[in-house]
Structure 1
């Protein structure tokens, strides 16, 4: 498979149209991150113009993503550095491998840094000559996470909600490396559930049987739902953006770049490549608001995207 490159600029629109989109009960914004939320459909509600109605997910949910909504993504590959004085291979009590806790225990990993722009559900690689590559985005950080595979000891991913190359895991985050988890978000009064991926979710597995559209490419089958939820309908994946992008990056080998052609508005397209969930592979994923698109790239809009108000991120 060939991976396209290139960027596009999101425009602004002051017009509003009408549409149908899930609403989050119990407030909006960053307070809802990582919590169980219930989505309720309302038929009379105003929305920005240029809503991208993508193909329905496997559950029949149509994404309603604003075409002008945009943000940037930086993915930096990581590996443990056992050459640092005092750095040793770490294991949990069951004997499973754990990433280093100290920033100096991490080094650049295999592969190249990916700098991407997401706009209206479509992802492109930022061109090398784009001025944004040399612009400091420190003041535009929305959120970040560091993620490692725990393969082959156990088929799961470990994460902390910050850049572990700049902050000590235990000094900053006393819980240490945690397996990614999920919240189960019911869509209205239906039997359809969205799985909210988080570093501190309530459930160890997704809310309903995994869709063949994105399992096992995005998630290993070890995260499939248990028998208690086998009768539920799968609505797709939503949640913390760094983790959603890490799933995509881990889906192919490190030297293959980022699978931009596998992502579309509200869904995942199987690429059929060899999985990149290999032993001790890590990455820092940072999400930035778009400085060129201030009205359509705000923390509030990205909160709504994470919470599933525009439909599934991967359906």
Structure 2
């Protein structure tokens, strides 16, 4: 008598240690591992490229502590901070986009599209032009600007609850108004300050130092840990507030915590490098399609975001006819994707 195997779901990897249990889908683990390999190869390629070209062996040897002199200086102090910033900031933007797309259950829910990133930029711009503050002050201004914009967008979009598409439309309008405010601020500023703010506002990794990478990276690491701790409740909330409440999720505090984490991730990146747009929009959807998950998951979004940011920066610095800010390349890559999402979302609602 033959027996048949019953498939109760996708294969998963369960890791248990004392009171902690971690459940991972095998495909997501494989996809993230492959993306990590691609990221390592692209990072080595980025460390090799420049006016002083290096071989892969020199780069790997330097990273392992085997080189000295000018090669060590170039790799560790000139190029590695930029590569590390692209990886960390891209992962942060990917997770931020995943949080908002999961909360609103809409692929258009991106911090840049719904105005939160523009609000962070406005807060940081005020600090630059008025206070001429440090990175810590920039981060604080960006966080306050992003949170204030989030409150305004939610208040304007609220009507017997907040629906994703209405919030997106309101966010686009608020983002456009904040863009006008930012332009007015730069027109009122001194020429040197306005030029510096305009270059920073394009989204660039040119001026990133180890201090910014370490400081911003530590803040982002804490926020990513918080996002991971909230990820289970976030996935349950995709089923609806009532279903999540029936499973023991405190919906309102969890939603507030996720919004704060998402805005803070965007603010940390904006304070260090300016607004790098569209990575948050594209990365979660690409990660979802690669992992073939039912909903938005954080790990694939983080790896894809890091890959997009590092790849865009490599194209901007070494493939474009002249070096460009990374934000220009991400706009070129994400603009078409945004148009496609807007078209399909509007067509689905007809």
TM-score over 0.5 for the alignment?
Answer: no
Determine which structure has the larger strand proportion and give its number: 1
Tell me which interval the TM-score lies in, with the shorter structure as reference length: under 0.3
Determine which structure has the larger helix proportion and give its number: 2
